[in-house]
Chain A
Amino acid sequence: MSDRQDHKPETGAFFQRDRDWHAPAFTPGYKTSVLRSPQKALLSLDNTISEITGPVFGHSMLGELDNDLIHNFAKPGESAIGERIIVHGRVLDERGRPVRSALLEFWQANAGGRYRHKKETYLAAIDPNFGGCGRTITDDEGYYFFRTIKPGAYPWPNGVNDWRPAHIHFSIFGHGFAQRLITQMYFEGDPMIWKCPIVATIPDRRAIEQLIAPLDWANTIPMDARAYKFDIVLRGRRSTFFENRPEGN
């Protein structure tokens, strides 16, 4: 699937996932988790080839506007309404190495906090020029960027008056299926982050702070778009010490 075969593949098993760092499955403050959380212990097993391998995607699959949510659903000559922003950063593994050819897919509400979805009932208006999804693939340094509008906050049925802080959903493929990850990015300075029951499923404050993108003034484009920087860390691989594998370590 990849059109970039010039790099030596990595074949080590992934570091064990730190389950105390991630949200547990059962988090009653987020009510939907109550009936959707496995209650029995997970079966722990070292990675096999079925988890060490994974699909890798080539840049050739991308359309020209895939990383431009301001224009990828807009009528010709028009654009989505809202605060124009660039989101950019790197995908690294736990060893700090760039993850090249990582596929990132993202989706979000429009500037008013409304999703383009049949089941969405929030009274904020649909933006006819905003679809709400995009994707990109990291370069050799693990770097990615995309353009969008800043999503609005929105209310949701959980508590009587629960609101989601402004956020962008991210889905990430690394190189092994065990690295598969879905997460959400938040924006620096938003007081609603600390009121959100979904954010609060994560037990460690440092893990939450890792989801908050700082305003990146240096990369802001004057008279055009502000920039937010969001780095993503995927599971790292163990070294393949003493194993007679072609890539060595």
Chain B
Amino acid sequence: MVQELGYLKETASQTAGPYVHIGLTPNFCGIPGIYKSDLGASMVNDKTLGQRIAVKGRVIDGAGMPLKDALVEIWQADAGGLYNSPAEMRGTADPNFPGWGRCPTSAEDGVFSFETVKPGRVPFNDGRLMAPHITFWIVARGINIGLHTRMYFPDEASANAEDPLLARIEHRHRAETLVAAGTAPSYTFDIHLQGEKETVFLDI
């Protein structure tokens, strides 16, 4: 026998189910009055620094249908490349930019959309700069554990070419699944759960 390490096990994930919008965006799904507004509904105000951008997209299943009951959250650095988080030790992020947003996919066409700012570059663990990116987290009925992925920008070809995460993708054509379509300030980022165009999801 040896000493016990004594670590606990992470609580197992379970699907967010069909009614995740009740819990996380009650105003959106017609339950007003509990919260003043849905958390994460707005990311920018008049004083937020940086270039305003719009990101919209869909989460598409293996039959090509957009999910209408999904919830998407994003997390990103501010325009100066700092995260609004206690774990950010490099400086203080823009106080007018939370860096986090939440959007349900719509019941009509399954589209999510965010009004945000173009993130600055942040360093990889070895100090090299990563290309500007937005972290995505997707949950829905039928998804047993939340899916992590990233969106990169189509107009950042040279930064993308030296990005350490994109470089880790063995099948080069799959790296394109992480690059949005469109041009500044409006980007489209469709997430494919399965099939030819399956998005690269991260175990991170």
A residues with a Cβ closer than 8 A to B are 1-2, 5, 7, 9-11, 15-19, 21-25, 27, 30, 32-40, 42-56, 61, 63, 65-66, 72-73, 92-96, 105-107, 115-120, 131-135, 169, 171, 175-178, 180-184, 198-199, 201-202, 204, 206-208, 210-211, 232-236, 245-246
Given contacts A50-B133, A66-B35, A120-B19, 9 further A-B contacts (CB under 8 A): A40-B200, A44-B204, A49-B83, A50-B150, A51-B148, A56-B85, A182-B146, A202-B14, A236-B7
Which 8 residue pairs spanning A and B have beta carbons closest together? A107-B23, A32-B142, A53-B85, A36-B142, A42-B203, A23-B144, A9-B86, A35-B62
Q: A96-B8, A181-B146, A246-B89 are in contact. Are A35 and B194 (CB under 8 A)?
A: yes
Give B43-68 interface residues, CB cut-off 8 Å to A.
61-63, 65, 67
In the complex, what residue of chain B is closest to A9 when comparing beta carbons? B86
On whether the beta carbons of B201 and A92 are closer than 8 Å, the reply is no
On whether the beta carbons of A63 and B36 are closer than 8 Å, the reply is yes
Task: Name the contact of A36 in the complex, choosing from B26, B62, B100 (C-beta under 8 A).
Answer: B62
Give B161-186 interface residues, CB cut-off 8 Å to A.
165, 168-169, 174
Q: A25-B143, A133-B31, A169-B16 are in contact. Are A55 and B88 (CB under 8 A)?
A: no
- Bound complex: CA of A210 vs CA of B8, how far in Å? 11
Distance between B172 CB and nearest chain A CB, rounded to angstroms: 13
Q: Is the interface of A mostly helix, strand, loop or mixed?
A: loop
B34 in the interface (beta carbon within 8 A): yes
- Bound complex: CA of A182 vs CA of B84, how far in Å? 22
In the complex, what residue of chain B is closest to A169 when comparing beta carbons? B23
Residue numbers in A under 8 Å from B130 (CB-CB): 48, 50
B159 in the interface (beta carbon within 8 A): no
Greatest chain B CB density within 10 A among A9, A40, A43, A93 is at: A43
Category for how many chain B residues contact A? 35 or more
On whether the beta carbons of A115 and B98 are closer than 8 Å, the reply is no
Residue numbers in A under 8 Å from B86 (CB-CB): 2, 5, 7, 9, 56, 175
In the complex, what residue of chain A is closest to B143 when comparing beta carbons? A36
Distance between B103 CB and nearest chain A CB, rounded to angstroms: 15
Task: Name the contact of A73 in the complex, choosing from B21, B34, B145, B169 (C-beta under 8 A).
Answer: B34
On whether the beta carbons of B168 and A43 are closer than 8 Å, the reply is yes
- Bound complex: CA of A37 vs CA of B26, how far in Å? 26
Residue numbers in A under 8 Å from B168 (CB-CB): 43, 45
